[in-house]
């Protein structure tokens, strides 16, 4: 089968199209013919071993898992011993990011518990855009923040896949949402339901008056002090993503910097859950979450897809089309 393979850490130039042996599903696994996948920051971070600590999970000197791709949608080809959730022919979608990845290939074998039924109303490309961002939004909005109707919520970094999903879900749950994004993402942030959109190149939400019950920081370049200043007493800042400096700042100084302020900080965990994935499927069926696809790339052009995502200006998601049939 064809797969996008890498044998050493580095930039997109380390990726190559290879003919590799087809995987065989083990106990509790299913074999999925990939129709579509999507690109996440986890792909280029794993590819580059950035941060360096990622090497302890995927090999200190050479990558142990050599096919990237966490988000996947396709059809079940075969079921391993003990796998009972699906049958051959079922359309599924899933998140393989913390289980060795492997979606940038024609076939992938993984635990059946990493998959859920693909929403019937979505194409494979649309479904592949949603596992990681949808589950992250559920963890942030539903589990961590427990958003209530009428709360004032701000999403920093609302133009990307996770940010848009957080906007959509918070609006669905009754919040009044302010979306902070770049000028090219203003339209899609409004379409996601934000009642106010802030172009970060023109306005500074930390100084313009409104304060918020909840702030979701999704890849936003703001200090902890700025987030704290924009929160109401009793408000909370949830770190959903960010660069290495922000992550370490939050881990090392987050609780201390918020101590005594009457506000709190929390980091949204990245551990996927099948229950969350099933819920994402239901939210997609109801239209509470909607995929937003910026660009599509063929499998052989994954290097350029990752290069584009790494630039940091994606509006929604970048999808990789693997099989010709995307109708679902």
Instruction: Looking at the structure, tell me whether residues 120 and 150 fall in a common domain.
Output: no
> What count of residues does the chain have?
328
Domain that holds residue 124: 2-129+291-321
Pairwise CA distance, residues 33 & 234, whole Å: 48
Could you say which DSSP state residue 138 is in?
I
**In this structure, is residue 66 part of a structural domain?**
yes
pTM of the model: 0.92
Q: What is the pLDDT tens value at each position of the chain, 328 positions in all?
A: 999 999 999 999 999 999 999 999 999 999 999 999 999 999 999 999 887 767 767 778 888 899 999 999 999 999 999 999 999 999 999 999 989 999 999 999 999 999 999 999 999 999 999 999 999 999 999 999 999 999 999 999 999 999 999 999 999 999 999 999 999 999 999 999 999 999 999 998 888 667 999 999 987 678 888 888 899 999 999 998 765 566 666 666 566 677 677 888 888 987 879 999 999 999 999 999 999 999 999 999 999 999 999 988 889 999 999 986 555 6
pLDDT for position 50:
80
Instruction: Looking at the structure, tell me whether residues 41 and 146 fall in a common domain.
Output: no
Instruction: Looking at the structure, tell me whether residues 20 and 77 fall in a common domain.
Output: yes
How would you classify the pairing of strands 107-111 and 293-298? unpaired
**In this structure, is residue 61 part of a structural domain?**
yes
Pairwise CA distance, residues 138 & 141, whole Å: 5
**In this structure, is residue 8 part of a structural domain?**
yes
- Kindly list the strands in the beta sheet with 152-156, ordered across the sheet, starting from the edge strand earlier in the chain: 196-199, 176-181, 152-156, 212-217, 231-239, 264-267
**In this structure, is residue 280 part of a structural domain?**
no
**In this structure, is residue 281 part of a structural domain?**
no
Instruction: Looking at the structure, tell me whether residues 184 and 113 fall in a common domain.
Output: no
Q: Is the peptide bond before 203 cis (omega within 30 degrees of 0)?
A: no
Helix (H, G, I), strand (E, B) or coil at 31: strand
Other beta carbons less than 10 A from residue 38's beta carbon: 32
Contact 155, 195 (CB under 8 A): no
Strand partners, 253: none
Pairwise CA distance, residues 17 & 151, whole Å: 48
Instruction: Looking at the structure, tell me whether residues 92 and 160 fall in a common domain.
Output: no
Instruction: Looking at the structure, tell me whether residues 47 and 125 fall in a common domain.
Output: yes
Q: Is the peptide bond before 51 cis (omega within 30 degrees of 0)?
A: yes
Tokens at 318, concatenated: 């970048």
**In this structure, is residue 277 part of a structural domain?**
no
Strand partners, 267: 239
Instruction: Looking at the structure, tell me whether residues 73 and 153 fall in a common domain.
Output: no
At residue 155's C-alpha, the angle toward residues 153 and 161, to 5°, is: 135
CATH of the domain at 81: 3.90.180.10
Instruction: Looking at the structure, tell me whether residues 151 and 237 fall in a common domain.
Output: yes
For the packed helices 302-310 and 41-48, what is the interaxial angle rounded to 10 degrees?
100
Using CB atoms within 10 Å of the CB of residue 239, give its burial: 0 to 12 exposed, 13 to 18 middle, 19+ buried.
buried
Q: Where are the alpha helices (DSSP H) in 156-300?
A: 161-172, 186-191, 224-229, 244-258, 274-286
**In this structure, is residue 257 part of a structural domain?**
yes
> For tokens 């961590």, what's the residue?
144
pLDDT for position 230:
92
Which one, of 133, 35, 17, 37, lies nearest residue 76 by Cα?
Answer: 35
Instruction: Looking at the structure, tell me whether residues 263 and 142 fall in a common domain.
Output: yes
Pairwise CA distance, residues 34 & 105, whole Å: 7
Using CB atoms within 10 Å of the CB of residue 251, give its burial: 0 to 12 exposed, 13 to 18 middle, 19+ buried.
exposed
Count of domains observed in the chain: 2
Instruction: Looking at the structure, tell me whether residues 159 and 211 fall in a common domain.
Output: yes
Instruction: Looking at the structure, tell me whether residues 221 and 246 fall in a common domain.
Output: yes
pLDDT for position 154:
97
> For tokens 């980091």, what's the residue?
267
Instruction: Looking at the structure, tell me whether residues 137 and 104 fall in a common domain.
Output: no
Pairwise CA distance, residues 177 & 140, whole Å: 14
Using CB atoms within 10 Å of the CB of residue 325, give its burial: 0 to 12 exposed, 13 to 18 middle, 19+ buried.
exposed
**In this structure, is residue 125 part of a structural domain?**
yes
Helix (H, G, I), strand (E, B) or coil at 159: coil
């Amino acid at each position: 089968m064809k797969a996008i393979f890498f044998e050493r850490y580095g930039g997109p130039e380390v990726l190559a199209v290879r003919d590799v042996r087809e995987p065989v599903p083990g106990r509790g696994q299913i074999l999925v013919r990939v129709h579509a996948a999507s690109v996440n920051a986890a792909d280029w971070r794993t590819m580059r071993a950035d941060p360096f600590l990622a090497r302890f999970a995927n090999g200190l000197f050479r990558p142990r898992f050599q096919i990237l791709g966490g988000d996947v949608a396709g059809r079940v080809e075969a079921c391993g011993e003990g796998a009972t959730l699906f049958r051959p022919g079922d359309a599924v979608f899933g998140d393989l990011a913390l289980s060795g990845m492997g979606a940038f290939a024609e076939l992938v074998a993984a635990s059946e518990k990493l998959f859920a039924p693909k929403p019937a109303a979505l194409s494979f490309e649309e479904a592949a855009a949603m596992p990681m961002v949808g589950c992250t939004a559920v963890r942030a909005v539903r589990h961590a923040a427990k958003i209530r109707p009428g709360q004032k919520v701000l999403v920093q970094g609302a133009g990307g896949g996770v940010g848009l999903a957080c906007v959509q879900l918070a609006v669905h749950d009754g919040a009044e949402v302010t979306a902070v994004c770049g000028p090219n993402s203003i339209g899609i942030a409004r379409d996601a339901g934000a009642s106010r959109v802030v172009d970060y190149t023109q306005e500074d939400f930390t100084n313009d008056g409104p304060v918020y019950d909840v702030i979701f920081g999704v890849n936003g370049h703001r200090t902890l002090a700025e987030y704290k200043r924009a929160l109401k007493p009793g408000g909370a800042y949830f770190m959903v993503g960010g660069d290495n400096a922000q992550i370490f700042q939050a881990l090392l100084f987050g609780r201390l910097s918020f101590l005594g302020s009457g506000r709190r900080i929390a980091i949204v965990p990245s551990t996927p859950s099948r229950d969350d994935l099933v819920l994402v499927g239901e939210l997609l069926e109801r239209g509470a979450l909607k995929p937003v696809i910026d660009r599509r790339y063929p499998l052989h052009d994954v290097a350029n897809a990752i290069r584009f995502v790494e630039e940091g200006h994606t509006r929604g998601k970048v999808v990789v089309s693997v099989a010709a049939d995307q109708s679902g």
